[in-house]
Chains A and B, each alone.
Chain A
Amino acid sequence: MQIQLRNPNTIMKLSRLGSFHQSKLSFLRSFLDEFKDWEYKNDLFDLDEHGYGTAVYSFKKKERIYSLICFANKINDEERSDRVIATKWDAAFTLHDGSPSKLDIERLKNEVPKQEVGRLSYKELTLSRANKSVRVFNHVVESLSKGVQPDLNLLEEVGYLYRTTAVYGSGKFGLADRFRIENREEINGPFRLEMMLVYLVRQFTFDQVNHVAKFKNPKSAVKLDLKICKNLGIGNSTGLGMAPFIVNHPTLLNNWILSREVALKKIREIKKASLKEIRIFKNCLKNSLKNITSWNTESEYQKNKINSLLKDIKIFLEFIEIEFDFGIDYPFNEIYLWVEKKTCDECIEYIVSMMLEPFDNITKPLVSQMSSDEEKYFTIPTNRTIEDLRKIVETKYNNILKIDFKKKENFKNFWFISKNKEEPRYANRFDEEGSDLEQPLAIARDIKKLHEKLLETKKNLTIDKFLLKNNDLRHVVRRAFIIEKFPYSEIQDNTISEKVIPIDMLRLKLSFFGALKFDPKSDKWLRICMFQGAPLPNDLQNFDQQWIYNS
């Protein structure tokens, strides 16, 4: 049986993208899989009694070494902020290519804590900073120093000791450009080194908390139980900075979504499911309920989504336990069709993630296809005709073309770069100044403009001639030719409408990272947790592939 890939016009709607969940294709999971047989080491741990100082952790295989360098500094409580306007953090980190020399560490000690205003070199691959969850960190120190383990309820409520507030890579602030490392075998998936940084930071947080507790009371202190460590992750606060990324990298976005869609299609095409596959699917589903019930948020928007998800998952569980016969042909296709008909977006995408779990043979080969050589598709095929372009626009953006951009609510907002922090922002164009400096992220509006222009242009004119008079539309002409080849490269929604919820864009990206427990703090920023339940570095050699549900 031949199953069609899902329609981009449905899947690429923001409300659907904002319902995506982590899966086997998520970058933090594929990172662990890739680095499971690397040698892990703590090379340096030079912290004072308060936990301030320098530490180095590394992964090594043959001649290749990646080292995380951590700088933990004292900051005052009033200086601690997760917002991008912060200038000091509890700890700052960089992933160094190779083993850092003393000179490297000295150089980085001056630069890394400064983050965006510091300068890194081509020897550094990623950069990040993190703040303590002071409430949790202090509680853990207190408990351990008294010889007891911390309150698990508190730990479960928060889920981490530290949260990162940004993770940078790919040439930012002088970091190595991607071209320097892209041919390395181990970097065959997106954001792999960013994932490594976050993973090693998690270990640092455990070592630091143990160290501080030990100094506080050397006689009675105990170490944080390894099982508790395993159930803690790293938090992350994410704002709008992440949103334009998915618009600015269309082929990359396509490859992420396409991999997921191809996996789903192949799974739906499986005629008979084995007992093992059925068992893994059911177990993951049941065990994952804990991740939903422990998903805490104060956001009404997210609470409603979680409630709908939980309600639908329970109905679905009943369905597969009582009604459904896994012995029928194409069982996963039947499951998918049922879910699509009976459940909400959040649940559909949740079940899709679950369906990927038993099928390593399908998902693993797709991981290496999730990167993109974006330059390759940058040049506009100017020998094509207006007729070609019109056909593409009308086929690939048919929902977008229905939007009436004469209505104020459809172009109410604009995206801009803040002069103060050089970060993307979003504002109401009728209330705020600055819309004349709008970033080219209103793709739907500009595609519609392009279409109007195409309608009044001769069909057989070539694109080079069209661009002579219409270079203001060049950016969307390029995108249209990209979507022709990459069907999932474009958000099929209006990113400047009154109704847009920017965190849907963040959620999409974070789900591919492998984040859990999306906790929106407004429509523009949210907190998440990564690596919660993940194996610790010393246990990487032989770990449970479904750890994310079994913690």
Chain B
Amino acid sequence: MKSLSEIDTIAKRSSKAMGFSWGVAEEIGKSIRLLELFGLPGIKTLNQYYILKAKEKFENLDLINEKNSSIKYPYCPIILGINFLDQIRNVEKFQKITFNKICFPLLILPFLSKSSEIIGKKIKIKFDNFEFLLNFNINISSNFLELKLPKIVENIEINIIENKDNFLEKDWNNLYKLSEETFVDENDSLKKSAAGAGLTDND
């Protein structure tokens, strides 16, 4: 089994060899490490992308807008991911961001995951029938289970999710009621003495 440290190093060095700058290669190393840590096929996908990148063209998306359409070729997931991360404080305002065509979308996930941590909001990405929820860079949840992700996906949607409860008030109230059963009903004596303060507050 390869260690995460080895994964980081190999991803970084191979990315430099593919023409990315050292600074970008460092980002890629960390991102592939994160995917593998979360049990997602980072090394496999990066390898597939670099094989394809040697033969085919991809577009670099610099400035992220609300709606992003590549002119001819699909977007490079790495440059898109890094710019998304760099620009997250601006991108956050859009709430919903769309892209017409990206290749190997799995490679964007680590950058969205870090972005989620920076803004303190969950981020959701949807394409085809796949959904990934990036939770503050603590974990990634998804309906992707051993399914094969397409190399190139269309109509990608990213949502910045506002911080709100993801449960109903009635569920909360029900549990709150149950939790009250662990409390002691205070009589007069307890009210006077059990709090540890209060009798001489105005001295």
CB distance from A344 to the nearest CB of B (A): 37
A174 at the interface (CB under 8 A from B): yes
CB distance from A221 to the nearest CB of B (A): 44
B-side contacts of A463, CB under 8 Å: 86
Pick the contact of A464 from B1, B6, B24, B86 — CB < 8 Å?
B86
Q: Is the CB of B1 within 8 A of A474?
A: no
Main secondary structure of the interface of B (DSSP, over half): helix
B90 at the interface (CB under 8 A from A): yes
Complex Cα–Cα for A380 and B182 (A): 47
B-side contacts of A440, CB under 8 Å: 22-23
Pick the contact of B89 from A173, A175, A179, A383 — CB < 8 Å?
A383
User: Given A471-B24, A472-B21, A475-B23, are A171 and B4 also a contact pair (CB < 8 Å)?
Assistant: yes
B26 at the interface (CB under 8 A from A): yes
Q: Is the CB of B6 within 8 A of A172?
A: yes
Q: Is the CB of B118 within 8 A of A468?
A: no
Residue-wise, chain B 4-20 has the 8 Å CB interface mask toward A (1 for contact) of 11100000010000001
Residue-wise, chain A 157-173 has the 8 Å CB interface mask toward B (1 for contact) of 00000000000001111
Q: Is the CB of A379 within 8 A of B23?
A: no
A362 at the interface (CB under 8 A from B): no
A-side contacts of B21, CB under 8 Å: 471-475
Identity of the chain B residue whose Cβ is nearest the Cβ of A439 in the assembled complex: B22
B63 at the interface (CB under 8 A from A): yes
B-side contacts of A323, CB under 8 Å: none
B66 at the interface (CB under 8 A from A): no
CB distance from A377 to the nearest CB of B (A): 12
Q: Is the CB of A174 within 8 A of B24?
A: no
Q: Is the CB of B114 within 8 A of A174?
A: no
Q: Is the CB of B5 within 8 A of A468?
A: no
B96 at the interface (CB under 8 A from A): no
Q: Is the CB of A172 within 8 A of B5?
A: yes
B-side contacts of A34, CB under 8 Å: none
Q: Is the CB of B85 within 8 A of A474?
A: no
User: Given A172-B6, A176-B3, are A478 and B23 also a contact pair (CB < 8 Å)?
Assistant: yes
User: Given A382-B87, A463-B86, A464-B90, are A474 and B5 also a contact pair (CB < 8 Å)?
Assistant: no
Q: How many A-B Cβ pairs are below 8 Å?
A: 72
Q: Is the CB of A472 within 8 A of B118?
A: no
Complex Cα–Cα for A441 and B91 (A): 33
Interface size on B, residues (CB 8 A): 27
Q: Is the CB of B1 within 8 A of A174?
A: yes
User: Given A379-B118, A474-B23, A475-B22, are A174 and B2 also a contact pair (CB < 8 Å)?
Assistant: yes
B-side contacts of A417, CB under 8 Å: 13
B-side contacts of A171, CB under 8 Å: 3-6
Identity of the chain B residue whose Cβ is nearest the Cβ of A382 in the assembled complex: B86
User: Given A174-B1, A176-B3, A177-B4, are A472 and B23 also a contact pair (CB < 8 Å)?
Assistant: yes
Complex Cα–Cα for A169 and B1 (A): 15
Most A-side CB within 10 Å, residue of B21, B23, B24, B83: B23
A375 at the interface (CB under 8 A from B): yes
Q: Is the CB of A468 within 8 A of B1?
A: no
Complex Cα–Cα for A383 and B93 (A): 14
A44 at the interface (CB under 8 A from B): no
A3 at the interface (CB under 8 A from B): no
CB distance from B87 to the nearest CB of A (A): 5
B-side contacts of A383, CB under 8 Å: 89
Complex Cα–Cα for A471 and B62 (A): 11
B126 at the interface (CB under 8 A from A): no
B-side contacts of A379, CB under 8 Å: 85, 114, 118
B121 at the interface (CB under 8 A from A): no
Q: Is the CB of B30 within 8 A of A177?
A: no
Complex Cα–Cα for A108 and B13 (A): 29
B-side contacts of A530, CB under 8 Å: none
CB distance from B122 to the nearest CB of A (A): 18
Beyond the given pairs A121-B1, A464-B90, 11 more chain A to chain B contacts, judged by CB atoms under 8 angstroms and listed by A's residue number, are A122-B1, A171-B4, A174-B6, A178-B5, A379-B118, A382-B85, A417-B13, A463-B86, A471-B82, A473-B23, A474-B24
